[in-house]
Structure 1
Amino acid sequence: MTLTLNERKKRILQAIIQDYITSAEPVGSRTIARKYDLGVGAATIRNEMFDLEMLGFLEQPHTSAGRIPSVKGYRFYVDCLLEPTAVAPAERKMVEEWFHHKVSGVDQIFQSMAKVLAQMTHNAIFVMASQQVQAKLKYVRFLPLDDRRAIMIVVTDSGHIENCLFDRPEGVSLDELNHIAERLTCCLAGKALGQMDVDFLNRFRETVVDDLELYRTAFQTLHRAFQREHQVYKGGTLELFDKPEFKDVHKAKNLVTLLEEQEVVSGLFGNDGQDKVTVRIGDEIKLQPITDCSIIEATFTAGNAVVGKIAVLGPTRMEYARIIGLLHFMQQHIKQILEHYEDKP
C-alpha cells in the first residue's frame, strides 16, 4: 500500500483526515491550502485529492468538492502516518487525581477507568476486567444443596464470592467435603487466583495421598470458579448522541440499545496481544449491526498476566492519535497501580 502514495499524497491525505476529524465536514482543496503549509497551491491539491479518491483513500459524499476519508484512508493513516499524541499535563494530572481519590481497591480500578476515559475521549468505553487475576484466595467452603450436589464457595481477600455446583460422589458426606475445603484453604490461601491455572492445580493435586478422584472433582470445580466471565464496565455510551454522525436520534438509540446486549459487548473485544493497542475500522469490527464506527482496543497486563482490556467505540472520525496516546499512558499507569496492590501484604 505504501508504494501507491508519494510523500505529497501522504501529507495531503494526513491533512484531510486531521481536518475532518476536527470539523466533521467534507474537506476541500482550498481549506487544505489555506490551513496547512504543504508548499503547493489549491489546484495541485485538488488534482492530488482526485487521485486519492481514485485510489480509494477518499470519498466524495455529495456533489460538492469536499472529500472525506474512506475506511481504506483511515487504515493507511493509522498504520503509516499516525504518531500517538503525548498526554497533556492537564490530562495526566486528571488521571492521577481521579485514581488517587476514586480508587480504594483493585475491584474499582477498571470501573474508574471506564468513567475517566469516557470523560476524556467523549466516546463509549467498554472495560473487560479479569478481577480475579489479582485477587487472592481467602478460603473455600462447601454448603449442602441436596443428596447429590453441594455448593463450593470460593471467597477472595477482596470479599468477592464465587460459587459453583459440585457433584457430590455417592456416599461422600458434607464433613468429608469440608475436610477437602480445609486442605485447599490451608495450601492455597494467600495465593493469587491468576496463578492457579490447570497446571498449578494439577501439581498440587499430585501431593494428595487419599481420594484422588474426589480431589480431582474438587479441583475441576475450583478451576471453573476461576474461569467466570469477566466483569464488563461501561461508560460514555450517551456521549454518542453528541456526535454529528449520530444526529439521527433513532440511529443513536438503536446503537445504544444494541450495546446493552452481552453478546455484542463481548464481540467488541478482539485483541489477544499483550501490551498492544489495536484499531479496527468499519467492517473490520465484524459486528454487522455496528456500522460507521471504529474500535481502539488496549490490553492491560501485570507481570505476565492479562488483567483487563478496554475498547473505545466511536465514529470512524475518531481522534486516533490522541486516544492511542491516552491508552498507552493508561497501560503504564494501571500497571503501576496493579503492581502496587499486588505488593501489598
Structure 2
Amino acid sequence: MYALLLTIIYIAFISLGLPDSLVGSGWPVMQRDLGVPLSYAGIITMTISVGTIFSSLMSDRLTKRFGTGMITAVSVLTTAIALYGFSISNHFYLLVLWAIPYGMGAGAVDAALNNYVALYYASRHMNWLHAFWGVGAAISPNIMAYYLLDASGWQGGYRAIAIIQIILTGCLFLSLPLWKANGLQETLDQTEVKPFKETLRLKGLSFMLVTFLAYSAVEQTTALWATTYLVEGRGIDVETAARYGALFFVGITAGRFLSGVVTRWFNDRQLIRIGLAVLCGGVVLILIPTDIQIFSLIGLVIVGFGCAPIYPAIIHATPTNFGAVNSQAVIGLQMAGAYVGSTFMPPLFGLLANNISVTIFPFYLAFFALLMVVMSERFNRTMKNK
C-alpha cells in the first residue's frame, strides 16, 4: 500500500510539471493565431499565479475539510478542465478566464502533496518527487512541439495534456482509500484551522517565507533571463546560450536526483546549506569580469545544481520545524511566498535591465542568494534558541 500510494504521488508530481511549460512553448504560435501582442503572455501567467497564490493560502482550510486525497484528485481535475478549456479557445480573453481555474488547481495540489510527503515520506522522496516535476516540465514542450507541426496546432497540445490529466484524475479518485490509511492524517484533518495571523506568528516563519521568496526569485529570474544575459551581456552566440540555458534546468533535475541519494548522510538543514554554498559559487563564476565565456556558462549550470536541494529540503523540514499540526498552513504560506517571488521578481529584473543594463543579471542573483543565506541562517539561530 505504501509503495502503491508513493507511485501515484510520483505520477502526480510529473502531472504537476506538465502544464507549467505549455504557455512558454506554445506562445509564439498562440500569439500569432490570436492576434495579440507578444507581451500578452504575461497576462496569462500572472492570472495563473494569482489563482495559485490564492489556492495555496486556502490549502490548510480545504485539506483539513476534505482530506489530501480528495483535494489532490479535485485539483488535478480542475486543472484538466482548464487545459481543455485552453484547447477550445479562439479568443485571448477566454484563455485569461480559463487561467483562473488553471492556477487554482495547481496551487491546491502543490501545497497538499508537498505537505503529505513532508509528513509521511523520507527526505529522499521529496527530492526525487521534485525532480519528477522537472521531468514533467521537460516533457510537455516536446508534446507541444509535436502538435505544433500537426494540423491541430497548439490547441491539440493542450488537449493532449488535458487527456493525460483526466486519466490521472481517474487514478487519483480510485486511490482515495489509500490516502486515509494513516491514522495521523485523520487526526490532522480534524484539527482546527488557525487564522493566518496566528500562523504568521509562529517563531521563525517570517525568515523562512523571505527565504522562499528569494529562492523563487533566483530560480525563475535565471530561467527567464539567463539566455538573454549570455547573448546581450556576454556576447555569446544564441545557440550556445540557449543550450546552456536549458542545462540550468538539467542541473536542477539532476541535482534533485543526486540530493535524494545523499540524504542518507545529510539532513535537511545541511542540504540547504550545501545548496546555498553551491548556488553562491555558481553566481561568483557568473560575476567574474572576464572575456573567458566558459566561467559564466559553467556558473549557470552550477546555480542549477545549487538550487536543487533547497526547495525540497525546506518543505520536508516544515513538520519538524513548525509541528505536524501547523505544517499544512505553513506550507501553504511558503508556496504563496514562492509564487510571489516567481511572479514578480523576474519582471522586476526586466524593468531594471531596460533602464540600466542586462549586465546587472549576476548582481541581481547575488542579492537574492545572499538574502537567502542571511534569512535561512537567522531562521536556524531562531530555532536553536526556541
Q: Which has the larger radius of gyration?
A: 1
Instruction: Give the structure with the higher percent helix.
Output: 2
Q: Normalising by structure 2, what TM-score?
A: 0.24
Instruction: Give the structure with the higher percent strand.
Output: 1
The one of the two structures with greater contact order (alpha-carbon pairs below 8 A, sep at least 6) is 2
Q: Normalising by structure 1, what TM-score?
A: 0.26
